[in-house]
Amino acid sequence: MRSGVLLAAAVLGLAITAARAAQDKQNFTIIERGRYLALLGDCAACHTEPGSGQAFAGGRPIETPFGTVLAPNITPDRDTGIGAWTDDEFVDALQKGVGRGGVHLYPAMPYTYYTRATREDVLAIRAYLATVAPVRHAVVSNQLPFPFDIRASMLAWNRLFFSPGRLAPTPAKSAEWNRGAYLVEGLAHCGMCHTPKNFLGGDETSQHLKGNVVQGWYAPDITDDARRGLGGWSVDDIVAYLRSGHNRIAAASGPMAEEVTRSSAQMDESDLRAIAVYLKDQPGGEEHAAPLAVDDARMRTGSAIYADECSACHTPNGGGIAGLFPALNGAPAVQSADPTSLIRVVLQGAQSAATPAAPTGPAMPQFAWLLDNAKVASVITYIRNAWGNAAPPVSIERVAAERHRLSRRAD
């Protein structure tokens, strides 16, 4: 553990520098760095209520499997924000999940990831947040039902699922890979959405980044899995996707469109490449899917529906149009283990991300009015098993359940 000790010493040294710097209210370098780090961490996404025009003033409901949590106000307002917090309190919140006065945070706040960020980086974020407009906006975060509303329960949860501490470098890997690891496992908190959760909401660490349902969407496998993950994507493909929301294969929609427009579209090129390099090095799963037979009744029906309703944009061979209509042929999103997003996109349609690099923002129309559950099941089963694709069929019941769930969602 020699390197660990050294790392701790190094962190301590940096911490002193950062603490001193943070008090310097016009330390442009640190504030600017903090702005960028807050963008990497996508703090504004949760801590700003959409449409409120009040950045970081909190109030946005965050869905969890256990109920809703409202993101708190993190502007420098002393009474309702974090203006009165000490630096250590701020660092503890991000690195230990413990807020002011020893209050346990809920892991809707990704402290399980932010704990990997260095104290220096955390304090830079703090320095930046101290400069934003203070907003007086009291938010009662805890909207959870009994027994989840008892914050002390997080003590036990943390013991089970939280491993605090910085990330030790992996010397065998490149600096770029290590930067990618620091971002993916830390501030960028990719696993928050993309890693499956157990029944208590903790990460299934054995299934790291292998896909997870969140906010009624399936955040797909982002390992190097050949079929379901990024195996068919180059580093450039991943960078283009994170930068613009689009690449030759896919289009970001749902929560990922929000992530792209608010966060990754504005990241440095070197950080996007680092993320891509790291993700490409995450091992995928075993290949065991076999396509359904072409004469399967669902495939025949699905093929006919595809020709009528889908092929005009996605093209007859599922190749799509780069930057406009996602490819289905070979696409991981189509062959995902969980079809939640596919069903949702077909039923409800989807607006793709519009970014400075790709301002078109094409949208998928909805088909809930046109295709009944059996037809939706057939056409999705078809695209999951045509053109060399292979993935389990989607049942009519699964579509029916999703249609019911969507009817109860506000979004």
Partner 1 sequence: MPRKLPGKDVVIIGLGWTGSILAHELTAAGLDVVAIERGPWRDTATDFPPSYAPDELRYRLHHELFLRPAQSTLTFRNNPSQTALPIRTWGAFMLGNGAGGAGVHWNAETWRFLPTDFTLRSHLTQRYGAAFLPEDMTIQDWGVTYDELEPYYDRFEHLCGTSGTAGNLRGVIQEGGNPFEGPRSRAYPTPAQKQPFSHTLFAQAAREMGYKPFPQPSGNLSQAYTNPLGVTLGPCTYCGFCEWFGCGNYSKASPQTTILPVLVRQPNFEARTECEVTRILLDSTGKRATGVVYADTSGEEWEQPADIVLLCAFSIFNVWLLMLSGIGERYDPQTGRGHIGRNFSHQTVSSAIGFFDRRKFNFNPFIASGAIGMCIDEFNGDNFDHSKLGFVGGGYMGQVQSNGRPMETTPVPPGTPLWGPEWKRAIRDNYLSTVFAGAGVHGSCYSYRGNYLDLDPTYRDRFGRPLLRLTMDLHENELKMSAFLTDRYAEIIQRMGATQVVKQPRKGPYSIVDYQTSHICGGAIMGSDPGSSAVNPWLQSWDVPNLFVFGMSAFPQNAGYNPTNTVAALAFRTAEAIRTQYLKNPGPLVHA
Residues that bind partner 1 (CB under 8 A): 309, 312-313, 321-325, 349, 351, 354, 356-367, 370
Max Cα-Cα span within the chain: 71
Alpha-carbon torsion 35, 38, 42, 43, what sign? negative
287 contacts: CB under 8 Å, gap ≥ 6? 226, 227
Closer CB to partner 1, 67 or 349, in the complex: 349
CB of 310 to partner 1, least distance (A): 9
CB of 371 to partner 1, least distance (A): 9
Closer CB to partner 1, 82 or 310, in the complex: 310
Is 352 within 8 Å of 245 (Cβ atoms)? Answer: yes
Instruction: Pick the closest to residue 336 from 169, 208, 194 (CA basis).
Output: 194
Closer CB to partner 1, 131 or 351, in the complex: 351
Identity of the residue numbered 101: G
Closer CB to partner 1, 4 or 359, in the complex: 359
Closer CB to partner 1, 270 or 351, in the complex: 351
Cα pseudo-dihedral 343, 246, 282, 210, rounded to 10: -10
Closer CB to partner 1, 14 or 368, in the complex: 368
CB of 316 to partner 1, least distance (A): 10
Closer CB to partner 1, 156 or 324, in the complex: 324
Instruction: Pick the closest to residue 244 from 269, 225, 207, 270 (CA basis).
Output: 269
Distance of CA 399 to the CA centre of its chain: 24
CB of 354 to partner 1, least distance (A): 6
The 3 state secondary structure assigned to 136-183 is CCCCCCECCCCCCCCCCHHHHHHHHHCCCCCCCCCCCCCHHHHHHHHH
Instruction: Give the burial string for 376-397 (b: 16+ CB within 10 Å, else e).
Output: bbbbbbbbbbbbebebebbeee
CB of 256 to partner 1, least distance (A): 18
For the beta carbon of residue 401, count every other beta carbon within 10 angstroms: 14
CB of 368 to partner 1, least distance (A): 11
CB of 306 to partner 1, least distance (A): 12
Is 339 within 8 Å of 398 (Cβ atoms)? Answer: yes
